[in-house]
Amino acid sequence: MIDLFPLFETTSLDLGIKIFILFLIFLFMVFMFIALVNVRALNRLVLLESGRSSFIIQAIFAFYFLLIVSLFLLALAIL
Amino acid sequence: MADEHHSGEESKKHPTSDSVASLKNDRLNFFSTYVELPNGVSYENQEDDEKILVFLRRHPVTNFPWIFIALFLYFLPFLVAPILPGLFETMGIFDVSVPGNYIFILSSFYFLIVTGYWLLCFISWFYNISMVTNNEVVDIDYTGVFHKSIATTNLREIQDVEYIQKGLLQTFFNYGDVFIQTAGSRPNLEFLRIPHPAKVSDIIMDEKRKVEEND
């Protein structure tokens, strides 16, 4: 049997894996933040449906970004 | 499959057909790809007397590949999970255990990445906008988080317009590429995979002629 529990329970390895996962989520968070800023810039550039479409897209993106932030905080708390 | 390849010069042979006059006022909605004289659309640097004649996005059919990929990626863990134990057994590994909190965080992260993928693909389609106004042609390209380009060219600077429809899908769904050749050092514009390419190239050439006649 290959038990991966000890891998996660050994202090140094556990810390390394935790930091690696948190780093990946953080990197993705930054990437999506840049995308969100880009969407805002595009909304200023072209206004669609007198701003209705632009607002919906921006709201969806902002909600998605909040989900990633929540996951990061959750990972920070439970890992 | 033979390419359907037409140049704007061809439409000059029919000066009586005024494609601009036949445009009908349409309402833009969230998923519009071809709208004539759209309401509620404006863009930066638009002149007060400038009117948008046609609003264009890529044809909806072009979205199918990323929609299928995203759906496949959503269902992939559910397809792979049942066969994993058998796969491990063939490799001589009979039991693998990973802490539940890691599984929860990593699987949530996976689904967020897949959601991000289709969201970015949708944004890329949503903001890839081309517009023909009574004064200029505007092409907004958003092909990724780190790439955004906005190109405009005055109708007077356009030398030639041509469109290409190739392949079964483009012929069947009536979409294709429109290439706008500009004078001098200005970059040429491309409206890729837009609906009604023939009509769009006609509109551009007709409006260009109108502008030149008024000069």
Whether B94 contacts chain A with CB within 8 A: yes
Residue pair B179/B164 in contact by the 8 Å Cβ criterion: yes
Residues in chain A with CB shorter than 8 Å from the CB of B105 are 21, 71, 74-75, 78-79
Q: Based on the number of CB atoms within 10 Å of its own CB, is A46 exposed (0-12), middle (13-18) or buried (19 or more)? A: buried
Sheet holding B189-195: strands in order across? B4-7, B158-165, B175-182, B189-195
Give the pLDDT band (50/70/90) at residue A7.
low
Residue A27 · residue A35 · CB < 8 Å: no
Give the integer Cα–Cα distance in Å for B174 and A3.
Answer: 57
ipTM: 0.84
Q: Tell which wins on pLDDT, B163 or B88.
A: B163
Suggest the residue from B94, B119, B136, B139 to mutate for an interface test with chain A (most A CBs closer than 10 A).
B119
Burial B78-88 (b: 16+ CB within 10 A, else e): eeeeeeeeeee
pLDDT digits (tens, 9 = 90+) for B130-170: 999 998 999 998 887 888 888 889 998 899 999 999 999 99
Neighbours of A63 (CB within 10 A): 9
> What gap in Å lies between CA A25 and CA A71, rounded to an integer?
8
* Rg of chain A (C-alpha set): 18
Confidence of residue B129 (pLDDT cuts 50, 70, 90): very high
pLDDT class of B49 with cuts at 50, 70, 90: confident
CA distance A75 to chain B (A): 6
